[in-house]
Amino acid sequence: MVLPKPAADESQDPGDVQFNVPAALLIAVTIGGLGGMVGQGGSFILIPLMLYALKLPTRIVIGSNLAIVFLSSFAGFAGKLLTGQIPGVLAVFLVIGAIPGALIGSVLSHRTSPKWLRTALAAVVALSAIGMVFDALVVNGMGR
């Protein structure tokens, strides 16, 4: 995600974006199926695929990924809600903090260049990977 993209790819109007629909469907079904089997939403691989395989502009990739995450999260939320696994008070505080955070993030995203957005996404993915490796090896693995 830190690889440079042509500036022309970033300045497109969302209505003018062209992409390979069969390739997009193949990517969605493959990543969705594999992600569903292992319990991973797939954002860590969907973002680079949308950026480089489908050649979509960074801002469209971020917005599309947020919509995908919302739908995936809603399905998980519904399942947890129906089985009584959501502590109500904690959920309320989470929502109270998430709403202003999302608004601030939206404003910052519009003021940030696509290059820096890609760099920030790469950093988040890298830090998440490091945290998972640490958790697997130290907390649940060799540390015991």
pLDDT digits (tens, 9 = 90+) for 73-125: 787 788 888 999 999 899 899 989 999 998 998 899 889 988 898 888 889 88
pLDDT at 89 (0 to 100): 92
Confidence of residue 25 (pLDDT cuts 50, 70, 90): very high
- With vertex at residue 95, the alpha carbon angle to CA 90 and CA 96, rounded to the nearest 5 degrees, is 95
Q: How many CA atoms lie within 13 A of 133 on its CB side?
A: 6
CA distance 16 to 108: 24
Query: For the whole prediction, is pTM greater than 0.95?
Result: no
Higher-scoring residue by pLDDT: 51, 9: 51
